[in-house]
Amino acid sequence: MPVSFVGRANYQGKERIRVSLLDQIKYPADLRRLKQEHLRQVVQEVRDRHIDVVSEKGGHFGASLGVAELTVALHYVFDTPRDQLIWDTGHQAYIHKILTGRNERLPSIRTRHGLAPFLRRDESEYDVFGAGHAATSISAAWGIAVGRDLIGEDFQVVAIIGDGAMGCGLAYEALNNAGHAGRDFIVLLNDNDMSIAPAVGAMNKYLTSMITTPAYNKVRSLVKEVLQRTPTGVGDVMEELAGRMEESLKHLLTPGLIFEELGFRYVGPIDGHDIDALVDVFRRVRDMKGPVFLHTLTQKGKGFTHAENDPWTWHASGPFDKVTGKGLAKSSGLPRYQNVFGKGLIELADADPKVVAITAAMPDGTSTDMFQKAHPDRYFDVGIAEGHGVTFAAGLATQGIRPIVAIYSTFLQRAFDNIVHDVALQGLPVVFGMDRAGIAGEDGPTHHGTLDIAYMLSVPGMTVTAPKDGREMLALLRLATQSDSGPWSVRWPRAPVPAEVPHLRDIEPIEAHTWELLRNGGDCVILATGTMVLTSVAAAELLEADGIRCTVVNCRFLKPYDRDVFEEMVRSHPLVLTVEEGQVTNGFGAFMAREIDALDLDPPPRVVAVGIPDQFIEHGAREGLLREIGLDVAGIAARVRAGIGRRAELEPA
Ligand SMILES: Cc1ncc(C[n+]2csc(CCOP(=O)(O)OP(=O)(O)O)c2C)c(N)n1
């Protein structure tokens, strides 16, 4: 293997010249050939590499920096991929990718055909379990451990989970199920006191108190001191004794010890940036029997000053200047939907004291952080607990409060039963504001919001809406908070709004359940929804040049829909094209086809449903992905042309 020299100015100010170790590591087996004393340098090099790539390409940032030592030590001590590491969520796995055969391709991460943004079983045998949504790691690792025992294998299984994800109920369901079974299995808690935003909730307080209890820390250092003074010959016995002493005192002095009560052997807290301590502890834990809960403390953003000082902002980043930390991405000029929502939400709450906002650990992603500043007493971050957030909203609604639940479309999938059972079945007026609806872009299939139209349409009593622009989004939200017709959903994309949006007070009201006729033409009617409305208008303009005349209707209410306009349209056009930025199976098109069929028209119009095809859509830039699946101007125009051609074929001459 060629040896190269790394000589470059360090952005932290120091000049270094040294032989690169990372150049000699393609897979963890190469790492394991190094002496332990070299690991510090490896950690520095993987951090530098991560900073270099994300500063140029953008991506998830602070979490990987925080687990640099953990990642190096895990692959150093455990026999990966035979031993199986299950990373939670996967946003912190860039350094894991660097060390597992993907360093060269790292700059392609999040781009079409490039490395996946999170973890993918089909990308690497080291990605044991795919992820993107939080808190699945312990359940999956437990399944892997049980599967291992059933087939008589003997490898180690380690779930690595953050303290933010530990705020999610799923993690406790898994601990509760796994702890008392006695199987070999390790849960590694990476505790950095942060989710994307500061971690919230009682478990977070519990973990913090465990670390900061002065009596506990005093006992720990006392035990360490006794150990260090012990002559080597007596070491083993003393170590054992001291270990037991520490355990007993810990029981006395730390609050709760919830993990021990759940059946795990608790080890920690350990400094997650002390590579030697990690290697040592991992070796011991690897050889322990039964379930172990290992608690490490890390700093999110470690090694990059800007991120250390502001880990919230640096959870993820666009390209940036490594010295100043300033972002390099150009903005489109128009605000993003999420910002328009954030401002509108404040105005809604200013006007109505009953309006409150709920987020599930995504205050900035949903722009509810703006609301928090304006109305702190009416803002609730429930942590990564979407199901709980929805049922909590249902409880609030029983008291006359008007909750707006701001959760990404994809994460709201977690709460489907809560939507059905706790909200809709009781007809409670909860408003679901779904950001990242449709194609989310670089975050890929775990984050695209492709299913919400289908799942919301399937819920009896749910008013399902999709605005064509930011202005209409605010008007729909206002109407939703004023309505007494039970639950509402409003969806919007991860994109800039198509036009500037005035203050809510200057936006004209919309009448409930009405559609909007935008263009007239006799050859075809396009029933367009949400983001596809303006695209459909542009497609109709394109077709006009070929002599094909299309009516375009803005179907902002998907359910209940505008019955009068619907009947008029489907009776007067030979071709009905429905267009939605949502999964086409069971979506708006399928719903409309059924409604048209029920009219029993003779002759019936031909119905073409255009939407996201029945497959998982990969990661990449949003515009490119929309083009690929035919949800752009040319794609919609092509479907109209094909529909008209096919109809002509079927008609008798
Ligand atoms: C179900 C779900 N909800 C929300 C998110 C968005 N999300 C991604 S990472 C993250 C924070 C995770 O915090 P933690 O587990 O402590 O990891 P850290 O980033 O601190 O390393 C959140 C909320 C998600 N991925 N999945």
DSSP character for 40?
A: H
Among residues 105, 116, 42, 119, the alpha carbon closest in space to that of 73 is found at 42
> Whose structure tokens read 């690169």?
20
Question: What mean pLDDT do residues 214-238 have?
Answer: 51
Position 412 scores a pLDDT of 98
Cβ-contact 579, 550 below 8 angstroms = no
Asked if the model's pLDDT at residue 155 lies above 80, the reply is yes
Identify the weakest region by mean pLDDT among 202-206, 278-282, 395-399, 648-652.
648-652
Between CA 414 and CA 385 the distance in angstroms is: 9
Which tokens belong to 395? 């409880």
Confidence bin at 10 (pLDDT 50/70/90): very low
Which tokens belong to 339? 């910002």
Position 228 scores a pLDDT of 54
Position 646 scores a pLDDT of 60
Query: What one-letter code names the amino acid at 186?
Result: I
Question: What mean pLDDT do residues 378-401 have?
Answer: 98
Give 93-122 pLDDT, tens digit per residue: 999 999 999 999 999 999 999 999 999 999
Position 37 scores a pLDDT of 97
Q: Let me know the angle formed at the C-alpha of 32 by 30 and 37, rounded to the nearest 5 degrees.
A: 115
Between CA 130 and CA 505 the distance in angstroms is: 45
- 172 vs 251: which has the higher pLDDT: 172
Which tokens belong to 570? 């489907």
Among residues 430, 423, 456, the alpha carbon closest in space to that of 591 is found at 456
Position 45 scores a pLDDT of 98
What is the residue-wise DSSP string for 594-621? HHHHHHT-SSPPEEEEEEE-SS----S-
How many whole angstroms from 443 Cα to the centroid of ligand 1?
Answer: 13
Position 4 scores a pLDDT of 42
Position 203 scores a pLDDT of 74
Position 199 scores a pLDDT of 76
Position 40 scores a pLDDT of 97
Query: What one-letter code names the amino acid at 362?
Result: M
What CA–CA distances, in Å, run from 397 to 59, 381, 417, 430? 38, 17, 17, 7
Asked if the model's pLDDT at residue 652 lies above 80, the reply is no
How many whole angstroms from 566 Cα to the centroid of ligand 1?
Answer: 42
Position 196 scores a pLDDT of 75
Give 449-490 pLDDT, tens digit per residue: 999 999 999 999 999 999 999 999 999 999 999 999 999 999
Among residues 479, 477, 468, 473, the alpha carbon closest in space to that of 517 is found at 468
Give 547-572 pLDDT, tens digit per residue: 999 999 999 999 999 999 999 999 99
Where does residue 358 rank: exposed (0-12), middle (13-18), buried (19+ CB within 10 A)?
buried
Asked if the model's pLDDT at residue 6 lies above 50, the reply is no
194 Cβ inside 6 Å of ligand 1: yes
Asked if the model's pLDDT at residue 235 lies above 70, the reply is no
Position 421 scores a pLDDT of 98
DSSP character for 424?
A: I
Cβ-contact 429, 401 below 8 angstroms = no
Asked if the model's pLDDT at residue 206 lies above 80, the reply is no
> Whose structure tokens read 């500063």?
55
Question: What mean pLDDT do residues 246-255 have?
Answer: 52
Q: Indicate which residue of 97, 110, 120, 300 is catalytic.
A: 300
Identify the weakest region by mean pLDDT among 3-7, 273-277, 302-306.
3-7
Going by alpha carbons, the residue nearest to atom 23 of ligand 1 is 361
Asked if the model's pLDDT at residue 649 lies above 70, the reply is no
How many of the other CB atoms lie within 10 Å of CB of 572? 11
Nearest ligand 1 atom, CA 190 = 21
Nearest ligand 1 atom, CA 63 = 21
Residue 300 falls in the annotated catalytic set: yes
DSSP character for 449?
A: B
Asked if the model's pLDDT at residue 616 lies above 80, the reply is yes
Between CA 475 and CA 508 the distance in angstroms is: 7
Confidence bin at 2 (pLDDT 50/70/90): very low
Asked if the model's pLDDT at residue 389 lies above 70, the reply is yes
β-pairing, 84-87 vs 488-491, is unpaired
pTM of the full predicted structure?
0.91
Nearest ligand 1 atom, CA 89 = 25
Residue 343 falls in the annotated catalytic set: no
Between CA 350 and CA 112 the distance in angstroms is: 43
Which tokens belong to 441? 């872009």
Which tokens belong to 588? 């708006």
Instruction: Indicate the SS3 state at residue 227.
Output: helix
Question: What mean pLDDT do residues 525-554 have?
Answer: 97
3-state secondary structure 157-198: EEEEEECCHHHCHHHHHHHHHHHHHCCCEEEEEEECCECCCE
Asked if the model's pLDDT at residue 137 lies above 60, the reply is yes
Question: What mean pLDDT do residues 6-29 have?
Answer: 71
* Helices within 3-38 (DSSP H only): 28-32
Instruction: Indicate the SS3 state at residue 253.
Output: helix
Residue 568 falls in the annotated catalytic set: no
Confidence bin at 207 (pLDDT 50/70/90): confident
136 Cβ inside 6 Å of ligand 1: no
Which tokens belong to 276? 């030697």
Position 242 scores a pLDDT of 56
Q: Indicate which residue of 148, 336, 414, 559 is catalytic.
A: 414
Between CA 454 and CA 456 the distance in angstroms is: 6
Cβ-contact 578, 527 below 8 angstroms = yes
Between CA 521 and CA 547 the distance in angstroms is: 10
What CA–CA distances, in Å, run from 592 to 354, 432, 456, 558, 599? 35, 23, 15, 9, 11
Is the C-alpha dihedral spanning 469, 474, 479, 484 positive or negative? positive
Give 293-342 pLDDT, tens digit per residue: 999 999 999 999 999 999 999 999 999 999 999 999 877 799 999 999 99
How many of the other CB atoms lie within 10 Å of CB of 221? 10
How many whole angstroms from 581 Cα to the centroid of ligand 1?
Answer: 26
Summary mean pLDDT of the chain? 91
How many whole angstroms from 196 Cα to the centroid of ligand 1?
Answer: 6
